[in-house]
Amino acid sequence: MSRLLHISASPRGAASESLAMAEAFLEAYRETHGDAVDHLDLWEAGLPVFGPAGAGAKMTVLAGNEPSGGEAAAWRAAREVFERYDSYDRYLFSVPMWNSSVPYVLKQFIDVVSQPGWVFRFDPEKGYSGLLRGKKAAVVYTSAVYGEHRGPAFGRDHQAPFLEGWLRWTGITDISAAEFRPNLATADAETGRRSAHAEARELGKRF
């Protein structure tokens, strides 16, 4: 049986559009597949800081050596986060747009788990190769101002290209997405919301 991990990046709880879309996806997913689903709320996860000790450990490992002292402790903390993530074969990311990109807590998660020998291998001649093959991901995106056809004055999309580029870099190439991008100036976004939730439910059925 497949195991799905929902990774949420919104701190807005019941007011979150991305979490509401994720719930539409998960409701259909559970009804269709009956698979186990777990939730990783990045705001409550207590993610480790990947600072000087972590960066030092990473460079030590890239050099073919074992971290020690404070570097070893930082490496173990990051490893615990990665092992939880890697224990699933399916992922749902719910991602609101913050300042044209993703919330910083999602970037922190990515920086913690993106380590040599975990999500990637590096060859001096061939470059990077992702190690998370055979997994799949779905993403629900939301934004309150940006929209593809609204022009640059309404922002630019560094959200989906960043996240999906990272997923592919780690070896996950089976990626599907649904989005809800209402304009804050629009008085009634309910029609678009219903359509987005229907898209999310359909994605959950097929996933």
Which residues sit in the known binding site for FMN? 10, 16-18
Looking at this protein, which amino acid is placed at residue 134?
G
Residues annotated in the binding site, as ranges? 10, 16-18
Contacts of 54 (CB under 8 A, 6+ apart): 48, 71, 74, 75, 77, 78, 112
Tokens 């709320």 — which residue?
A: 41
Q: How far apart are CA 170 and CA 23, in angstroms?
A: 26
Please give the Cα distance from 36 to 183 (Å, whole number): 35
Are 179 and 142 within 8 A, CB to CB?
Answer: yes
